[in-house]
Every structure is written in structure tokens, then in C-alpha cells.
Amino acid sequence: MRLLLLAPPGAGKGTQGERLAGRLGVQHISAGELLRAQARADTGVGREIAAYQQRGDLVPDAIVFEVLTPVVVVAVARGGYILDGFPRTLPQATAAAELGVRLGLTLDAVVSLHAPQAVLVQRLLDRAIQGGRSDDTAAVIRHRLEVFTTTTSPLIAYYRDRGILVAVDADQAPEVVTTEILTRLSDRSLTPDRR
């Protein structure tokens, strides 16, 4: 199974990524987490990543590919992945598609999670109160949502045009969202039928 999770901040990419990986028996890869891990390292590139993440700006593609590619290659060899947070731009999507063709790998599906903007903002502010991430401040949250709308959301149409988009309402309890995703994947014969 090779699955992408495409969703704005606060929609539950990380939560669903973990749950789906557990249910489908493949590795969960979070682009944001991998970059945060690099950012914690006291290196030049780590400091560069940290600066982009703190502002809520996208990390440059070259760095993203360098961090992500080896992890994805290992996951593929082990049977697949649930990748959340990548691609986030059209150039990332086309570069990933070219790489996929070269390696004889194509995506099975792209799950797009959607929820009203007010719900997303509230979830992120709640996470901030619970001692969340340093990019969960009101101003940076607003900026991350803008970056999603302008730069990442065109990917929804990109994958819909390729016939692999599965759109799910994320404004529901996490277990309901997971069940709906699994049902929609089994409708596409991508997972064993559970009903």
C-alpha cells in the first residue's frame, strides 16, 4: 500500500497516518516530523529547517527530498507507506511522480481530509494550550493555513484528475474518519473488504 495524506494543518494527518499505518501494516512517514527531527540537530541544515518551520513557511524542496527520499525507499522495500505532509507543492508532486515512474512505483491513493477553517484553527489552538508545537501560535497557524490554500490545495485537483483522490470529511471523531477512509479504500479494492 502506498498512500498519501493530503490535508491542511489541524485536519488530523498525523493522527490518521498513525492509525492507518497500524491497521494496514505499513510504515507511517510524516514529512513534518522528519523535518522537525532534523531541525533539532545542531547543524547548518537543521537550523535552516527550524527557521522555515518556525515561520510556517515551506522548507525548500531540495532539503525535503534529501530528508525524505531515503526513508521512503526503505519503506517501499518493506511493503509500502502512509506518507503525510508530502508532496505539498505541485513541483514536489511532479518530481515524486517522475521518481515513482523511474522506480516502477505508483501511488495507490491520495486521501484528502477536509474540515471547516474554524475547526482547524480551534484544534491547533487547543493543541498549543496542551503544550504543542512552537509553530502553533495564532499568527503562524493563520500563515500555515494560507500556505495550504495557495500552494498545497491545487494538489487536490491534480490527484482528482489522475483518478486516485479519496476525499473524506475530517470534522468527525478520529475513529469515524479512520473507518471512513478504510471503507473508501476497500470500495476501490485497495484493502480487504471489512463489511
| Sites of contact with ligand ADP (CB under 6 A) | 9, 13, 31-32, 35, 52-53, 56-59, 64, 85-88, 92, 144
Q: How far is the CB of 192 from ligand ADP (least distance, A)?
A: 29
d(CA 109, CA 86): 13
Cβ-closest position to ligand ADP: 32
Please name the residues in contact with 64: beta carbons below 8 A apart, sequence gap of 6 or more. Answer: 31, 35, 86, 92
Q: How far is the CB of 179 from ligand ADP (least distance, A)?
A: 23
17 vs 80 by CB, closer to ligand ADP: 17
d(CA 156, CA 7): 9
58 vs 99 by CB, closer to ligand ADP: 58
56 vs 80 by CB, closer to ligand ADP: 56
Smallest CA-to-CA distance from 54 within 29, 68, 35, 71 is with 35
Q: How far is the CB of 140 from ligand ADP (least distance, A)?
A: 8
d(CA 17, CA 83): 7
In angstroms, what CA-CA distances link 41 with 34, 45, 46, 48, 126?
11, 9, 6, 11, 27
Q: How far is the CB of 95 from ligand ADP (least distance, A)?
A: 11
Q: How far is the CB of 120 from ligand ADP (least distance, A)?
A: 9
141 vs 165 by CB, closer to ligand ADP: 141
d(CA 25, CA 165): 21
